[in-house]
Structure 1
């Protein structure tokens, strides 16, 4: 697909998605919201792609919402999604079934923090900074931070930053569990790609099953996830990839090549 505010590149089994509105600090207007939702749907539908990497083009990951353009749409209750798109903040409709790694640098504000929370792994540059500014402006943060940050960081840690609207640095983001690795400035995308390529070498069906079961545990509780475990185990053990892995375990020769079946 052709996009104006999103860059999409394929590197083997990895799709790299760039938020590409640098003259506006990658702030989200309606078109960017919809283009990113389409790019996520493209990532999910492409059987040759196993992992996605999200990053910001230019000096910043994103300054959040472009209130002049998106504010009126939110006030009217308009959808921010393209037809057939996947919600970038994963708070409604279909979710990505493949791992997503976020590579963060510069400013990561408001909806940017919520994009990060919707990813599965986050790498950030040492000088990155974060803030949830909506209450400062009299607004509600509608991209999932009120659910996901308390889960990730604990109630007090989450409220400390959501309610004060203060900015915090990469070290604090790491302490909160918002990011999983802090790297030297300029290395965030390289490190995210290294992780993505490593994940892409694993069996796609097994990775999908792990994501599905872990997310179910978060959303529906441990009991719901436990009920699903036998089905997922049988599914993966009976797959071509599962049998290839078992054969390699029995007779170690070389690493299995997984085909996603």
Structure 2
């Protein structure tokens, strides 16, 4: 969506390229950025663009207005839920990164800036990303049980993995509201900053990642993810083959040359 294009009533997703970064903006501030099916489809398309464009190295997910997202717009999603259907077309990268059949998993890093109301899908999107910067005014809630449904975007998996089962169930079952300090304590977010500076900090982190060797960044991310999902030994089994592939890349040669010449490396992603 062009930055100058008015936001449609059903909301939209704005994208902006800054160097090697793809900024992805949730844009429905009049409704606290509540997601419609069209918005979720557009978000998946933006994530797919990040993975498919070799010039893009890092994604930055953020939101327009004062809030990250109030979560799903339930009236627009209820018919899909009742039919057991998904809003995202198959073949795209799934923003919740659950590895479901028919959907791709993201390979490139995603940094998220959250603020204000960050409910349900908002928590699941940030837990599915890699690094989260939270404004100190955040209000988090995983309140699906309050609406008679279950969180199916990854909260039941990742909250327990990050914070332990008891801490996860405390928030999943009580449907309470908690703040940025609690989210930091539970390892749901990595940084808490004053409100208004969260996107700048997310961009700073994303820029630092984008300066590294792209192939090595992707390989490192995927290996760490495999260790979490399949165990340390499954990740360790890939060490030699992955290192051999990376060591024979143009970027690895550039890494050695830039070290010898005492200059910043100029990585090409090859």
Count of residue correspondences: 260
Q: Residue 226 in 1 paired to residue 236 in 2?
A: yes
In the alignment, structure 1 residue 201 sits paired with structure 2 residue 208: no
SS in 2 for 1:26: coil
Q: 1:8 aligns to what?
A: 15
Give the structure 2 partner of residue 211 of structure 1. Answer: 221
SS at match of 1:58: coil
* 1:100-111 aligned within 5 A: 100-111=110-121
How many Å apart are 1:84 and its aligned residue? 3.3
1:188 paired with 2:198, answer yes
Measured after TM superposition, the shift of residue 123 of structure 1 is 0.2
* C-alpha distance in 2 between matches for 1:252 and 1:178: 40
- In the alignment, does 2:175 pair up with 1:165? yes
1:254 aligns with 2:258: no
> C-alpha distance in 1, partners of 2:149/2:85?
16
Counterpart contact for 2:91–2:104, Cα < 8 Å: no
Aligned twin of 1:86 = 93
What secondary structure sits across from 2:238 in the alignment?
A: helix
Aligned 8 A contact 1:131 1:167 in 2: yes
SS at match of 1:148: helix
**Which of 39, 45, 48 is matched with 2:52 structurally?**
45
Supply the distance in 2 between the matched residues of 1:100 and 1:120 (Cα, whole angstroms). Answer: 5
Q: Does 1:56 align with 2:98?
A: no
CA RMSD of aligned residues (A): 1.3
Q: Could you state the TM-score of these two structures normalised by the residue count of structure 1?
A: 0.96
Partner of 1:69: 76
Residue number in structure 2 paired with 1:141? 151
CA–CA distance in 1 between the matches of 2:165 and 2:114?
Answer: 24
Measured against aligned partners, the alpha-carbon deviations of 1:147-182 in whole angstroms (never above 9, x if no partner) come to 111111111111111111100000110111111000
1:119 aligns with 2:111: no
* Worse-matched range after superposition: 228-237 or 81-90: 81-90
2-side partners of 1:110 and 1:255: how far apart?
42
Compute the TM-score of the two structures, normalised by the length of structure 2: 0.93
- Residues 24 and 59 in structure 2, CA contact (< 8 A), matched pair in contact too: yes
Q: Any gaps of 5 or more consecutive residues in structure 2? A: none
Asked if 1:245 is matched to 2:255, the reply is: yes
